[in-house]
Amino acid sequence: MTATVSNASPLLPFLPLTRPTIDDETIAGVAEVLRSGWITSGPQVKAFEAKLSEYFGGRPVRAFNSGTCTMEIALRIAGIGPGAEVITTPLSWVATSNVILEVGATPVFVDIDPVTRNLDLRLVEAAITPATRAIIPVDLAGLPVDRDRLNAIAKKHNLRVVEDAAQSFGSTWKGRRIGSFGDFVSFSFHPNKNITTIEGGCLVLNDEREAGLAEQYRLQGVIRSGFDGMEVEVRGGKFNLTDVAARVGIGQLVHLDKFTAKRRELARAYFELLDTPAVRALGLGLPVPDFTQSNWHMFQVVLPAWLTIKRADVMAKLKDGGIGTGVHYPAIHLFALYRQLGWTEGDCPHAEHTGRNILALPLFPAMTRADITRVVGALVFILQAHSKP
């Protein structure tokens, strides 16, 4: 890659960070649901849950209206509340730690491994106290956390695990699908995820007792019996998925393997163009090149610290060239809400460095290799023009 590639692309269409692929059969199926008159939670939700359960090897699954409430509900089912501590990563969407606060528990941030950008499991045991009740790991960009080490730590210390697998639907660990084993596993079906229900998520549970509790928490704690029987035993919320959304999910699920294969193909193309001596010399940090386990939800680079312009300027220049980017994520513990809880700069140095410099590049199944070449050319052009000599 040389500096001869221009950053300007006035004749090319705008390339967004991500874009869902929804086929005509799914669109027609949504129209059928709308015509049916049953558009909130009903037969489509049950059908979607059945297909998800089959995908996860028969484990009970319940669908929800987000991949955030799923983590909160898992914590509530586990009995985690005031006085409890929950260990998690500072490099995630803030929802990961907000749900800990929502149940009245205390988040304990442990720094990331700078290579995988996931929770550094080597540091977790030192953070465990008598108040620790759970761990919430995150599979950043779809790269799985080491499940063997994670579950061994949890078993040793009698901790629950709520896997924030929002980004790893379709990822595997040693040949096993993420979600087909482990404790609670939470997925998101937001439009930027590998499959979508427009908005939504699901929670994989351990048994039917937990699944029943999840249903109660999903809709105001209500238990129905017969034609007119109703009881409320727990304080639930309004977290149910609609049939319209579920029908989108059913249509998406059949394409998952194809979507994952295409994402891996595109990620390989990024590596072919970026993992070169010339680009490495610019100091660009690349993700772990895992093409068997990761679903490549995102392709994230870490910008070199010696750039003469800020990350926002890089993003603006790429946008001027018709290329969308994203930041996933700033370090959570440095947000004002968490600073008020006592977290300060320097507590998680690897997450702080990555959070300041990470940049997500476009990656979605409808992209082509030419799109990847365009993105890399524009990015390298900017890096070369704004690196310190």
| Tens-place pLDDT, residues 254-281 | 999 999 999 999 999 999 999 999 999 9
Per the structure, the complete domain to which residue 183 belongs is given by: 24-253
pTM (two decimals):
0.95
- Quote the pLDDT of residue 11: 75
The answer on 167 and 57 residing in a single domain is yes
**Does residue 85 form part of some domain?**
yes
Residue 13, in any domain of the structure: no
Does a cis peptide bond (omega within 30 degrees of 0) precede residue 55?
A: no
Q: Are residues 264 and 246 in the same domain?
A: no
The predicted structure's pLDDT at residue 10:
56
Confidence of residue 3 (pLDDT cuts 50, 70, 90): very low
For residues 201 and 277, membership in a common domain is answered with no
Contact residues for 29 (Cβ-Cβ < 8 A; gap 6+): 247, 250, 251
Q: Which pLDDT does position 177 carry in this prediction? A: 98
Of the candidates 117, 96, 93, 97, the one whose C-alpha atom is nearest the C-alpha of residue 106 is 97
Domain termination site, one of 231, 253, 275? 253
- The last residue of a domain, from among 253, 270, 297: 253
**323 and 228 within one domain:** no
pLDDT tens profile 317-363: 999 999 999 999 999 999 999 999 999 999 999 999 999 999 999 99
Helix (H, G, I), strand (E, B) or coil at 232: strand
Average pLDDT across the chain, whole number: 96
Measuring CA to CA, which residue among 188, 174, 206, 219 is closest to residue 298? 188
Has residue 107 been placed in a domain?
A: yes
Q: Averaged over 7-25, what is the pLDDT?
A: 86
Shared-domain flag, residues 326 and 244: no
The domain boundary, picked from 225, 253, 281, lies at 253
CATH number of domain containing 293 = 3.90.1150.10
Domain count, the chain: 2
Task: Pick the closest to residue 147 from 163, 167, 166 (CA basis).
Answer: 163
Report the pLDDT value the prediction gives residue 2, as an integer from 0 to 100: 39
Across 177-194, b (16+ Cβ under 10 Å) vs e yields bbbeebbbbbbbbbebbb
CA-based nearest residue to 94, from 300, 354, 331, 311:
331
At 301-326, the pLDDT tens digits run 999 989 999 999 999 999 999 999 99
Report which secondary-structure segment, H or E, holds 155. Answer: helix 147-156
State yes or no: pLDDT of 87 exceeds 50: yes
CA 180 to CA 169: how far, in whole Å? Answer: 11
Regarding predicted confidence, which is higher, 185 or 8? 185
Residue 1 pLDDT class (50, 70, 90 cuts): very low
Cβ neighbours around 98 below 10 Å, total: 17
Question: Does 5 have pLDDT greater than 70?
Answer: no
Distance CA 303, CA 285 (A): 6
Identify whether residues 55 and 113 lie together within a single domain: yes
Flag whether pLDDT at 28 surpasses 60. Answer: yes
Tallying the residues shown for the chain, one arrives at: 389
Does residue 105 have a pLDDT over 90?
yes
pLDDT at 7 over 80: no
Percent over 70 (pLDDT), the chain = 97
Same domain for 188 and 47, yes or no, is yes
pLDDT band per the 50, 70, 90 thresholds, residue 6: very low
- E strand or H helix at 248: helix 243-253
Euclidean distance between CA atoms 60 and 173, whole angstroms: 20
In angstroms, the first-to-last Cα distance of the chain is 18
CA distance 163 to 140: 11
221 and 363 both lie in a single domain:
no
In a domain, 304, yes or no: yes
Higher pLDDT, 235 or 11: 235
- Residues paired with 15 in a beta bridge: 323
The answer to whether position 29 is within a domain reads: yes
CATH number for 101: 3.40.640.10
In a domain, residue 12? The reply is no
- Residue 142, CA distances (Å) to 158, 164, 227, 356 in order: 26, 11, 44, 20
pLDDT above 90: residue 4: no
> Residues 21, 259: contact at Cβ < 8 Å?
yes
With beta carbons less than 8 A apart as the criterion, state whether 243 and 63 touch: no
Q: What are 286-300's pLDDT values in tens digits?
A: 999 999 999 999 999
Q: Is 15 domain-assigned?
A: no
Q: Looking at the predicted structure, is the pLDDT value of residue 47 above 50?
A: yes
Q: Is the pLDDT of residue 232 over 90?
A: yes
Give the catalytic positions in this structure: 193
Residue 132 Cα distances to 39, 180, 371, angstroms: 42, 25, 46
pLDDT for res 388 = 82
Residues 235 and 292 in one domain: no
Whether 73 and 199 map to the same domain: the answer is yes
Claim to verify: residue 190 and residue 230 sit in the same structural domain = yes
Statement to judge: residues 264 and 170 lie in one domain = no
